[in-house]
Amino acid sequence: MSFKVGIIRFLGTNCDADVKKWMTLKSHRAVYLWFENQFNVNDYDMLIIPGGFSHGDYLRCGALAAHTPVMKSVKEFATKGKPILGICNGFQILCEAGLLPGVLLKNDLQKFKDEWAMLKVIQNRSPFLQGTKKDQVIKLAIAHGEGKYFAETETLNKLVDNNQIWLTYENNPNGSVLNIAGITNENKNVCGLMPHPERALFEWMGSTDGMYFL
């Protein structure tokens, strides 16, 4: 099935072109949406917020992006139950915007980390990763300085109870609580993950597991 996908660009977004290539490969129609403008939520089937350093990571990762005009439409999109995927900085933005619970803190080693990570699919009911089986292990690259997922116990309990934990690290690279690499909202339509599926599409990239998505 071909979707019309909105890719949101902020100042400093740097995985926008990569995500567009990925969507084209999956035969979806992808359109860029600029952070200064609101959009008609009926025009798109799904949204992706790509990675990068939106607004220079000033203040906190994703904090400034979360308060830009485009996010009003994104929130409306979420309320309608339509699917939204945040990758890396996109995940941070979704948390800052309150569309996903918790926060992403500096990695335990206080350093940026780029490596391949093995991830376990905890639930496959999100709209983005239905091609996998529960407990399947997939290989994706991570590249982040602030990817340590953190939430208070109460929130974590809710995440577990509602089956919102989406992906976990097999070898925790950053100190995330419960090894969390990705979560969804209660409705399962808003999803965020730190690893980059768009960097794992061909054998030559090192993994093809990004193709499981969408």
**Does the footprint of other proteins cover residue 15 (CB under 8 A)?**
yes
Which residues, listed in sequence order, are joined to residue 168 by a DSSP beta bridge?
120, 180
Residue ranges of the alpha helices (H) in 80-213? 89-96, 153-161
Residue among 63, 53, 50, 57 nearest 6 (CA):
50
Catalytic, 96? Answer: no
214 is an interface residue for other proteins by CB under 8 A: no
Catalytically annotated residue among 61, 88, 95, 191 = 88
Give dist(CA 59, CA 38) in Å, integer: 23
User: Which residue from 14, 124, 136, 172 is in contact with other proteins, where contact means CB under 8 A?
Assistant: 14
Please say which residue, 24 or 157, places its beta carbon nearer to other proteins: 24
Q: Total residues at the site for other proteins (CB under 8 A)?
A: 31
Nearer to other proteins, 40 or 171 (CB): 171
146 tagged catalytic? no
- Which residue among 28, 55, 144, 196 is the active-site one? 196
User: In angstroms, rounded to a whole number, what is the distance separating the alpha carbons of residues 115 and 85?
Assistant: 21
Indicate the helix (H) or strand (E) that contains 118.
strand 113-121
Under the criterion CB under 8 A, does residue 209 sit at the interface with other proteins?
no
- C-alpha count within 13 angstroms, C-beta hemisphere, residue 106: 6
Q: Binding to other proteins by residue 205, rule CB under 8 A?
A: yes
Q: Which is nearer to other proteins, 68 or 176 (CB)?
A: 68
Q: Which positions from 61 through 100 interact with other proteins, judged by CB under 8 A?
A: none
Distance CA 137, CA 118 (A): 6
Q: Which of residues 21-40 bind other proteins (CB under 8 A)?
A: 21-22
Query: Annotated catalytic, 88?
Result: yes
The letter for the amino acid at 191 is C
Name the residue nearer to other proteins (CB basis): 12 or 124.
12
